[in-house]
Amino acid sequence: MATDPSPRGVEYREVAADEAEWRFDRWVRHHFPQLGHGMLQKLLRTGQFRLDGRRVQGGDRVQPGQTVRVPPLPTVDRPLDRREVVRPRPGDERLIEEMVIHQDDAVLVLNKPPGLAVQGGTGTTRHVDGLLATLAREGERPRLCHRLDRDTSGVLVVARTARAAAFLTSAFRGHEARKLYWAVVVGEVRGQEGLIDLALAKRGVVEKMAADEEGKPARTRWRVIIRSGKVGAWLGLMPLTGRTHQLRAHCAAMGWPILGDGKYGGAAAQPTGAPRALMLHAREIDIPHPGGGRLRVAAEPPASFREGLRWLGLAPEPLPFSRLADWPR
C-alpha cells in the first residue's frame, strides 16, 4: 500500500504471493511500464529503489511480503518509449497455444521449447511471460509459478488466476512438487543411482553456479535410465531443491556434464560431431492442484533431445525410471 498517494511522492509496495522469485527489474516493469530502461538503471545505481530497506540490483529476486520503496517516477500519462513496447508478433498466439499440454479453470501446463526464455531481460523481447498475454481470460492474465532455463525444454506450470498462483507458488516453495528431468550426459557414469548433495554459490560476473561449502544447500537424486558404455548415458534427475542451474552444475561436478552444456561442461560437453543443443528436458511433474487432488503431466521431448539420444545410439523408449511413477517417494 502506498504511504504517499501523490504521483511525486515515495511509495511503499508489498510483493504479492504470485510474484515470488521475480527479478526485481521485471517486478518494476510490471508495475511501472512507463519507466524506461535507462531511468530504471539510474534509479538502481543511486539506491533510490530499496527492497526491505536495502539497496537492490535488477537481477535480485523478490519474495512475497517484502517491501519495495518506490521513488518518485514519471506519471503513467507519459507516452511509453516506443523502443520498449513489446507488441505481439504474427504467430505468437499460435505459438503459445501449441505449447499447452494441459488446461483447466485454474492451471495451464506448457511444454516449453528449448531456446525460448521464460522471462524478459536485457536484449530479450520474446519470452513465455510476454506470450501469456494472448491467453488472458476476462481481463486476467495467466501468471508464471516457476522457471526453466532458456535452453531447457519441457513442463512449465502457469496459473490462470491470482488465487491459483498463490497456491502453486506456495507448493513450489514448500517442495510439494515432484519433478523429473531427463538429461543426456557425456562421460562415464558409475553406479545406477545416487544423491548429489553439493552446496552451490554464484561465482563471477556471469551468472554461474559453483560448488561451495558456504553456498546454499542443493540436492539432486539421479538414476541411470540407460547408458552407452563409457561414452555417456540417459539419466533421470529429480531436484530436491531449486537452485539456479542446479542440475547443470551438479552433473558437471560429478564428471558427466550434460551434452551441449558448454557453460558448465566446457569442451567435454561439446564433443566433435555431437548435437549442440542443451540436452536437458523437464519431463514430468506431480503437484497439488488448487482445486484439490494432484496434477500429473508429462511433456514429450523436443526433436533436439531425441537427436542427443540417437547420438549415443539410444532411443526414447519407455524404460524403468523414465517415468515419475517408477521413482519411490
Catalytic residues: 149
Strand partners, 201: 210
Q: What is the dihedral of CA 5, 20, 279, 197, to 10 degrees?
A: 140
CB 290 within 8 A of CB 163: yes
C-alpha cell at 6: 501523490
Place of cell 503459445: 96
CA 187 vs CA 196, 224, 227, 259: distances in Å:
17, 13, 10, 10
CB 100 within 8 A of CB 108: yes
Taking alpha carbons only, the member of 209, 206, 305 closest to residue 248 is 209
Taking alpha carbons only, the member of 149, 98, 102 closest to residue 296 is 102
C-alpha cell at 63: 519474495
Residue 224: what are its φ and ψ, rounded to 5°? -80, 125
CB 92 within 8 A of CB 135: no
The DSSP secondary structure of 67-107, one letter per residue, reads: EEEE-----TTSPPPGGG--PPPTTHHHHHHHHEEEE-SSE
Distance CA 197, CA 245 (A): 14
First-to-last alpha carbon distance for the chain, in angstroms, is 42
Q: Compute how many other C-beta atoms are within 10 angstroms of the C-beta atom of residue 302.
A: 18
